[in-house]
Amino acid sequence: MKPVTADQAAINQAADLLRQGRLVALPTETVYGLGADAKNPEAVKRIFAAKGRPADHPLIVHIPDKAALTDWAIEIPEIAWKLAERFWPGPLTIVLKKHPDVPMEVTGGQNTVALRVPNHPVVLAVLTEFGGGIAAPSANRFCRISPTQASHVEEELGDKVDMILDGGACEVGLESTIVDLSGDQPRLLRPGQLSKTEIEAVLGSALIVPEADEEIHVPGRKDVHYSPKTQAFLCTPEQVQVILRGNVLQHRHKMGILSYATEINSNLFDYVIQMPKNVNDYGHLLYSKLRELDHAELDLILVEQPPQTEVWLAVNNRLQKAAKQYLEDFQSRLTDK
């Protein structure tokens, strides 16, 4: 399935396919989504089958505007309306108590539902034309890197979708920030470009950040996620310096590096990508650059860690999942060989 230009005819066709219970890949400002009619359980099941995703992992429902919230959620707190008013359309997902009409297939059997109004003209046009909610996880196979361009969707799920709408490269490039408002206190379930501080400013209270090992049913919080196929290792700028001095990696490996602070002028690496200094530019490019490195048939990828400050939270969160092992593990692995 080749991506198609998202003109009006294609948007109408996408809405028709959704009405027929088919799958349509759609651009959003964060990443591409694999969409289906959120009120059609059979269509929603097709999403799980296409991705190879376990059925108990809940999906985000995309809605056209905040007024539609009452069709999908109940007991909506005032702060949900405030966040929606301030940040929608935009890269924020809000978890609320689900409306009885929301199929259990969408929520993975839970009594809460994740909702978001995406900020991309193509998905908004499809939502308007379709008139319902679109359940859409990222349009990648389970545990793989999220697609930020239509060609990535083709690569991941080309034979499993009924249509891929091309809306260009996703501006944000990282999945939405998820805030859970279904409990006593607002909780940050997944960091994104929209920061904790910006959300707290609207909430007027602190966002609780659950511990990583807390038992929460959120696949985005699973350890292995967003991963390239090639082994990837995170390393500090100091470790990159040590490697460049040449006394660590005696073994011959075909190596790539996604560097940040360090300028790489060394033939030690077969593939070098220098990432931008600005956090939004970095996030915008991250997944497509990891994908590019993954295509370069390398033995391993080194990822130089960017700053550890709050604005970098979402980027570091994704890097830790993509490049889980630190260099120490890598070295011990080499000596095992």
Contact positions vs Mg ion (CB under 5 A): 138
Query: Strand (E) positions, the chain?
Result: 3-5, 24-26, 33-37, 60-62, 73-74, 92-98, 112-116, 134-135, 163-166, 177-180, 187-190, 231-235, 255-259, 271-274, 300-304, 325-326
3-state secondary structure (DSSP) of residue 154 = helix
Indicate whether 28 belongs to the interface with ligand TXA (CB under 6 A): yes
- Per-residue string for binding with ligand TXA, 204-233, x by CB under 6 A? --------------xxx-------------
138 or 230: whose CB is closer to Mg ion?
Answer: 138
For residue 64, say if its preceding peptide bond is cis, omega within 30 degrees of 0: no
What is the closest distance, in whole angstroms, from the C-beta atom of residue 268 to Mg ion in the complex? 33
- Per-residue string for binding with ligand TXA, 30-69, x by CB under 6 A? xx-x-----------------------xxxx---------
Nearest to 5 by CA among 150, 147, 114: 150
Distance (Å, rounded) from C-alpha 85 to C-alpha 87? 6
Segment holding 192, helix H or strand E: none
Q: Are 114 and 106 in contact (CB under 8 A)?
A: no
Q: Are 86 and 202 in contact (CB under 8 A)?
A: yes
Distance (Å, rounded) from C-alpha 204 to C-alpha 327? 40
What is the closest distance, in whole angstroms, from the C-beta atom of residue 137 to Mg ion in the complex? 5
What is the closest distance, in whole angstroms, from the C-beta atom of residue 64 to ligand TXA in the complex? 14
Chain centroid, CA 273 distance in Å: 21
Which of 138, 195, 239, 317 is the binder for ligand TXA (CB under 6 A)?
Answer: 138
116 or 160: whose CB is closer to ligand TXA?
Answer: 116
Q: Which segment (64-72, 104-112, 151-159, 305-313) binds ligand TXA by CB under 6 A?
A: 104-112
What is the closest distance, in whole angstroms, from the C-beta atom of residue 168 to Mg ion in the complex? 20
Q: Are 117 and 224 in contact (CB under 8 A)?
A: no
Q: Which segment (175-183, 239-247, 264-272, 291-299) binds ligand TXA by CB under 6 A?
A: 175-183
Which of 107, 148, 259, 305 is the binder for ligand TXA (CB under 6 A)?
Answer: 107
What is the closest distance, in whole angstroms, from the C-beta atom of residue 228 to ligand TXA in the complex? 17
User: Which residues here bind ligand TXA, judged by CB under 6 A?
Assistant: 28, 30-31, 33, 57-60, 93, 95, 107, 110, 112-114, 116, 118, 136-138, 175-176, 178, 189-190, 218-220
